[in-house]
Chains A and B, each alone.
Chain A
């Protein structure tokens, strides 16, 4: 029997209001773990071609990892997945917080929602008591209000996961929020929740996790703790979270600016980590079992952007800041807070607004389209105004709520060439001409443009030793060179396998990939002492590879092939105009060919070869 788990999966039929508890399938855990792997398998088996992402046939899963709730550093995470309404392909997103651990303590590892309700409901879980309750009093409330009302109505110990108005209004990049300011932001899964009329989940568990090796548990976890605390990255993480990436990315020309026209921003120092710490920083906040506390709590004390709350991340400094040519830091912080409140992905939000700003700048969008709103680069008031209008689908916000790709299709006039997306999802804060691996990663990621599926940060700067350890000396110096396309196919493939596995055990990419402190063997050891699973590092890598292939098969079902694995022309054909990476383009074809080769995928179709599927135990699919 596998230890350290909740033990059951909840199946909630929203159409009939039926709740079913199923014991965890241990064979499945041995082949896919939990989290991303579990959802990949279950949704592959259950979502057929032609499914409407916002129809009742879509299935929304929320799953914790095998180590979620454990004492491993940063073991806080859960995964949300469904067919994405933004991209029409595999949709997946992850968040930290306390929700996942609380769900485990209540006795559950995952919740699967099928069907759709006509009336708004919320799922309330108190240990073995699980009930669907009327949420008409919560519908229309924002994420913070929802959390307040639920906890006041039950008790303060409840953890909540919810959607804000954006999810209710089926904004295509609506987030699933938890613990107030944690976001499973990408893929528009908040809209799937909204389409099923699930306003929230509240959970309180009074149970316990019995671990496989209680005798040695604390001693082993102490070793992991000590390594994490001693890592030279940890103090910087505490001090800045992700916010100092603005300075670092400016330094290598990788800070998306003006809708990714360039990778440097002249106002970078006004939106930097140091600028935040100088005036707005309140506290470093942690999630469950997190030693690095990268969470920022900030405040703007006066003026139109006044707030106090959890904000920001680097991605927002980039998407609502440099990407929109906006150096007004107070608006960036407030914008992040507002996006949390309404429940939206700040990457796609900023990516869509910056698309509109470039189209405006080029004269392709006018005041007639926008209802008189001025979309000049850096107009902070416009960015804030549009954030609200998108969440509530007011005026021009209603078009932008569809995401940049669909909005460009609707507007026409050649605005599609300013869409900085892959498979209709906006590219995150990595200008790939300054880091080639990120260009490939955005293209191969299962959920459309995404930096986290592979999170290939080892060529960012200074990880030569770790590349040597994880890959071998023969790949140096090219693999460590961010501007070289060589070996990036190999690197992205290996990083994907590892990261997808990390999302299946419920750990954070901080500590596993940056800094690259814990690798396969460490996680194998943790799975042994916590879960009693006897999986080797090699087997864990194979599980990661299996999941990536299954995600690809899922996407093939929705029409994806090599033709879709492409970047906007700007990034592959136009040379980066400015900064330390000036003159660079992304050599995508070269990297992609190497990637398909090491993946065992067909060069023409970009789909898994029969022998690859057989080797991974996926034959017949």
Chain B
């Protein structure tokens, strides 16, 4: 099986500027708006900024959760949404452990990161990279980045009212 890729960011390096958020909503929806973006940035004091993306889980609970069968994994390992099938039930949103899939307020369809790299290319702090579980372990040998994510998981992945 292809090694599953995902976008990840370093919370010690990310400056919190939201450029990735804006690039994403502009690239895909032609508007500026965090609720139309496939990436979120969460600032946690002291001094942490988390850019958050689909983690491309091996078991992909979003795929299993969709009652319409709108989510699937491509041959390259990317989980995509079939807009013709998606009718915005939100089952995938509820199933995602990383709060990384949302219903677009204008289209009513699910949106999620598909590792296109548009934001990675433009990140002014070079905080973002496309990686795999194995590559991340190599890059971050002491597991600092993942530990920070785990330490703050309640705040990072909670599903808020809006």
Interface residues of A (CB under 8 A from B): 4, 69-71, 98, 101, 105, 126, 155-157, 180, 204, 206-211, 214-215, 217-218, 221-222, 225, 229, 282-291, 293, 295, 297, 299, 308-309
Contact = CB atoms under 8 A, between A and B. Distances in A.
B86 to A, nearest CB: 20
Given A206-B35, A209-B33, A214-B31, A309 B46 contact: yes
A221 B29 CA distance: 16
11 contacts: A71-B22, A155-B160, A155-B161, A156-B160, A206-B162, A215-B30, A218-B23, A222-B122, A285-B15, A286-B125, A289-B17
Contacts of B106: 208
B26 A293 contact: no
A283 B47 contact: yes
A289 B18 contact: yes
A217 B160 CA distance: 31
B162 A204 contact: yes
A68 to B, nearest CB: 11
Contacts of B112: none
Nearest to A298: B47
A157 B124 contact: no
B36 interface: yes
Interface of B: 12, 15-19, 22-23, 25-27, 29-36, 42, 45-47, 49, 105-106, 122, 124-125, 155, 160-162
A288 B32 contact: no
Given A101-B18, A209-B32, A283-B12, 20 more contacts: A180-B45, A206-B33, A206-B35, A206-B162, A208-B25, A208-B29, A208-B31, A208-B32, A208-B33, A208-B36, A211-B26, A211-B31, A214-B30, A218-B23, A289-B18, A293-B15, A299-B46, A308-B46, A308-B47, A309-B46
A149 to B, nearest CB: 14
A98 B17 CA distance: 9
Nearest to B17: A286
Given A287-B17, A293-B17, A229 B124 contact: yes
A331 B35 CA distance: 42
B46 A288 contact: no
Given A204-B162, A289-B18, A70 B12 contact: no
Most buried by A among B16, B105, B155, B160: B16
B15 A284 contact: yes
Contact of B17 (A69, A215, A290): A290
Contact of A105 (B12, B19, B34, B49): B34
Given A155-B160, A156-B160, A208-B35, A285 B26 contact: no
Contacts of A293: 15, 17, 124-125
Contacts of A156: 42, 155, 160
Contacts of A289: 17-19, 22
